[in-house]
């Protein structure tokens, strides 16, 4: 089969690899669509992984082979899956912190989603793989995984009806989080991003306000929108560590700051720590998703509860992932979500 194999920053090769063998409790799926995630771009651009490795984890595909012990799925069924599975019985899992489970990051799709065929191991079959309806196209199905990640993050945000939410960064995670915030009851949702394209897209899909930090002071503009009270929740969805300081400065008394982005290698920031005490501000991090988030995300995407169609701006072939990563990483390009398609 063909796969795009990452070796180093400027060396991603479209080459022949072995079709993975499956065990009795595994499945093999044919990849139809795989989203190019910001973490894939970060890993490739900053060389945070050692090659050769096949990246990609936002997968939708078709079951083409099942092990003899697999009874829940049949060849030909349309499915989505994700990358990491917790053990469900450790210290962290017992407390609901599934993404902190020691097993979590040790479990993976084999190989990654940027390949024609993917082995779905037993734990993924049992806990992370789900059927999708026939009317949901492959590309939007590949958006289910990032929607699930954002749902996981919004649980930390604890959004209430009529809350004001500020999202710093309007990439895929930012705009999905903004839409989910409105879905969860927020009455005012504000995004901030340097890209005019992303700001205009945010307004098109129903976000209340879009701030241009290049020409507007974010803290001043947010104060105007919120009558000086600040947002109840600030979600950091861009890998700029100084945004943590900005979020602490602008959030309302009793508010929550949710950090949902990888930063630089040494993201040391200064914050007004006094606000954490006197104003009871919470800062929480969020990473990845849980199996329970996947189930909720499927319903949201299948029922069009948020706009994922307009967020998909480009499709690229599996053989051109290197070009797709460079294109997505260039801030001059009008791009949001790139979907990778298997070559015909």
pTM above 0.85, yes or no: yes
Determine how β-strand 58-66 pairs with β-strand 78-81.
antiparallel
CA dihedral 227, 233, 239, 243 (to 10 degrees): 40
**Predicted confidence (pLDDT) at residue 59 exceeds the cutoff of 90:** yes
∠ at Cα 207 (200, 223), nearest 5°?
A: 100
CB-based burial label for 101 (10 Å; 0-12, 13-18, 19+): buried
Determine how β-strand 256-259 pairs with β-strand 233-236.
parallel
**Predicted confidence (pLDDT) at residue 344 exceeds the cutoff of 70:** no
Per-residue model confidence as pLDDT tens digits over 205-229: 999 999 999 999 999 999 999 999 9
What structural domains and CATH numbers belong to the chain?
Answer: 2-143+311-341 (3.90.180.10), 150-285 (3.40.50.720)
- The residue count of the chain comes to 344
**Predicted confidence (pLDDT) at residue 137 exceeds the cutoff of 90:** yes
Per-residue model confidence as pLDDT tens digits over 13-49: 999 999 999 999 999 999 999 999 999 998 999 888 9
What does each C-alpha distance from 135 to 297, 303, 321, 342 come to in angstroms? 16, 10, 27, 20
Per-residue model confidence as pLDDT tens digits over 237-276: 999 999 999 999 999 999 999 999 988 767 889 999 999 9
pLDDT mean over 310-319: 98
């Amino acid at each position: 089969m063909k796969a795009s194999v990452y070796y180093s920053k400027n060396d991603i090769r479209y080459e022949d690899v072995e079709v993975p063998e499956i065990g009795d409790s595994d499945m093999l799926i044919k990849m139809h669509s795989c989203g190019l995630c910001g973490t894939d771009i970060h890993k490739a651009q900053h060389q945070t992984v050692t090659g050769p490795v096949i990246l990609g984890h936002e997968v939708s595909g078709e079951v083409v082979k099942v092990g003899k012990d697999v009874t829940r799925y049949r060849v030909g069924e349309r499915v989505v899956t994700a990358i990491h599975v917790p053990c469900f019985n450790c210290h962290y899992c017992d407390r609901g912190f599934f993404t902190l489970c020691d097993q979590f990051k040790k479990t993976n799709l084999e190989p990654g989603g940027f390949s024609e065929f993917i082995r779905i191991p037993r734990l993924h079959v049992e806990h992370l793989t789900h059927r999708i309806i026939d009317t949901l196209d492959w590309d939007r199905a590949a958006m289910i995984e990032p929607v699930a990640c954002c749902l996981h993050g919004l649980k930390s945000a604890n959004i209430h009806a009529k809350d004001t939410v500020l999202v710093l960064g309007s990439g895929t995670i930012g705009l999905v989080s903004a839409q989910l915030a409105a879905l969860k009851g927020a009455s005012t949702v504000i995004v901030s991003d340097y890209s005019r394209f992303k700001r205009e897209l945010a307004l098109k899909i129903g976000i209340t306000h879009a701030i241009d930090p290049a020409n507007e002071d974010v803290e001043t503009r947010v104060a105007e929108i919120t009558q000086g009270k600040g947002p109840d929740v600030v979600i950091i969805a861009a890998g700029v560590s100084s945004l943590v300081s900005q979020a602490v400065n602008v959030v309302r008394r009793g508010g929550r700051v949710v950090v949902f982005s990888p930063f630089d290698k040494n993201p040391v920031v200064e914050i007004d720590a006094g606000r954490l005490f006197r104003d009871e501000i919470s800062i929480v991090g969020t990473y990845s998703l849980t199996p329970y988030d996947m189930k909720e995300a499927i319903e949201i995407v299948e029922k069009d509860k948020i706009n994922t169609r307009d967020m998909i701006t480009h499709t690229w072939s599996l053989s051109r992932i290197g070009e797709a990563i460079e294109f997505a990483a260039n801030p001059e390009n009008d791009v949001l979500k790139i979907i990778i398609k298997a070559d015909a």
